[in-house]
Amino acid sequence: MAAIAVRDVDAYVARPNPRHTVILVYGPDLGLVRERARVLLKAGGADPSDPFSTVTLEGDQLASDPGRLADEARAIGLFGGRRIVHVRAGGRSFVEALEGILADPPQDALIVIEAGDLRKGAPLRKMVEAANSAAALPCYEDDERAIAALIDSTLRAAGLEIERDARDVLASLLGSDRMASRAELDKLMLYAGGKKRIEYDDVIAAIADSSGLAIDDVVDAAAAGDADEALVSFAKTRAAGSPASVVLGAAIRHVATLHRLSLRVERGDRAASLVREPQQRIHFRRQSSFERALTRFGSGELERTLTALGTALLASRRSAELADPIAEREILALAKGARRRR
């Protein structure tokens, strides 16, 4: 049985077990799934220019023709060497195609399967995890540590250094999707040009939407109860040219998310666990603020806050000259008006 633990996946990808004929790479982060599958294929000797040594199959095709996987895996390459089969899972099950392979693994073949998020009891995942000749590699969205490691390894490979402050803000700006993070890093390195050391201003100029960050800071600080920080951030958004109505709109979306989460807290879920669920897509930079807000608000208070914010948004649009004081008033109300939970 080879269900690779999340913490050991990178080490496995760097040094795959040669006894494993089938490697399943799966998870919700499709960018990371694709990246790791590509590394495994390359390490196995994949050569896209030689169709006799490397072949790509669609899982839906194998569902209709289960015997094809065995035929391809046991075929002999034109120039000899290892046979590489790349399978991209689709919406149909092709576990029947794997049964013979796992029961009698080909002597000189590697089958790498890319799949999406598979629950624990999913037939494909269950079959691979139970086989001695296979490995299952989960790919979950990047957390803070993974993002920091990605930054370091990518810049090191490019021969670049980065200032500490620049690295910290870069880590806070990158999301949990590996493919998107790589694209942002490529953009940053292109912007840096011939420089050998990336600075804070490079990160802000190449990646950050400073007004958007300030808006997040406004609503996060206000909902967490920090009125002074919220007002400072609000001033930054106005200086950057963001209208007060945009800030109020962001506050409405933020409070609506808090309301949805607060209903689960009231049913017994822990706020600390909720804000870190991958499906919530709350950037780790903001998770502690969300958690503090959920200790301050109940669903009833949040409903009343949504009503007040909606009224304020309408008023700010009707009286543009009063938009700033209207927004400031609601920011202060959000910061000061909630009760702390016992």
**pLDDT average, residue stretch 148-156:** 89
User: Do both 225 and 153 map to the same domain?
Assistant: no
The answer to whether the CB of 198 falls within 8 A of the CB of 166 is yes
User: Do both 134 and 148 map to the same domain?
Assistant: no
Task: Please state, as a whole number, how many other Cβ atoms lie within 10 Å of the Cβ of residue 305.
Answer: 23
Pairing state of beta strands 54-58 and 22-26?
A: unpaired
Using the structure block, give the residue that is written with the tokens 């760097």. 14
Partners of residue 113 on adjacent β-strands: 24, 87
**pLDDT average, residue stretch 122-137:** 93
User: Do both 220 and 317 map to the same domain?
Assistant: yes
pLDDT at 49 over 70: no
User: Do both 193 and 248 map to the same domain?
Assistant: no
User: Do both 21 and 89 map to the same domain?
Assistant: yes
- CATH number of the structural domain spanning residue 196: 1.10.8.60
In terms of residue numbers, what domain contains 302? Answer: 210-336
User: Do both 250 and 321 map to the same domain?
Assistant: yes
The answer to whether the CB of 173 falls within 8 A of the CB of 141 is no
Write down the pLDDT at residue 220: 92
Q: Is residue 240 part of a domain?
A: yes
Above pLDDT 90, what percent of the chain? 42
User: Do both 117 and 151 map to the same domain?
Assistant: no
pLDDT in tens, 169-207: 788 777 767 887 888 899 899 988 888 999 888 887 787
Weakest mean pLDDT among 24-33, 306-315, 333-342? 333-342
pLDDT at 326 over 60: yes
**pLDDT average, residue stretch 51-58:** 80
Average pLDDT of every residue of the chain: 86
pLDDT in tens, 224-248: 999 998 998 888 888 777 788 889 9
Tell which wins on pLDDT, 211 or 319: 319
Residue 340 — very low, low, confident or very high, per pLDDT cuts 50/70/90? very low
- CATH number of the structural domain spanning residue 256: 1.20.272.10
pLDDT at 142 over 80: no
Distance CA 284, CA 269 (A): 19
Three-state DSSP state, 90: coil
- CATH number of the structural domain spanning residue 36: 3.40.50.300
CA-closest candidate to residue 56, choices 74, 67, 69, 70: 69
Residue 315 — very low, low, confident or very high, per pLDDT cuts 50/70/90? very high
pLDDT at 134 over 90: yes
Write down the pLDDT at residue 123: 93
Domain end point (choices 206, 224, 248) = 206
Q: Is residue 235 part of a domain?
A: yes
Write down the pLDDT at residue 293: 92
Q: Is residue 341 part of a domain?
A: no
Distance CA 153, CA 155 (A): 6
Distance CA 99, CA 83 (A): 18
User: Do both 199 and 215 map to the same domain?
Assistant: no
Residue 107 — very low, low, confident or very high, per pLDDT cuts 50/70/90? confident
Domain end point (choices 162, 179, 206) = 206
Q: Is the pTM of this model over 0.75?
A: no
Write down the pLDDT at residue 339: 47
Three-state DSSP state, 85: strand
Domain end point (choices 100, 118, 138) = 138
User: Do both 97 and 192 map to the same domain?
Assistant: no
Please name the helix (run of DSSP H) or strand (run of DSSP E) that holds residue 58, with its range, or none: strand 54-58
pLDDT at 285 over 80: no
Q: How many domains does the chain have?
A: 3
Please name the helix (run of DSSP H) or strand (run of DSSP E) that holds residue 26, with its range, or none: strand 22-26
Write down the pLDDT at residue 320: 85
Above pLDDT 70, what percent of the chain? 92
User: Do both 77 and 99 map to the same domain?
Assistant: yes
Q: Is residue 1 part of a domain?
A: no
User: Do both 83 and 168 map to the same domain?
Assistant: no
Write down the pLDDT at residue 342: 34
User: Do both 240 and 330 map to the same domain?
Assistant: yes
The answer to whether the CB of 312 falls within 8 A of the CB of 329 is yes
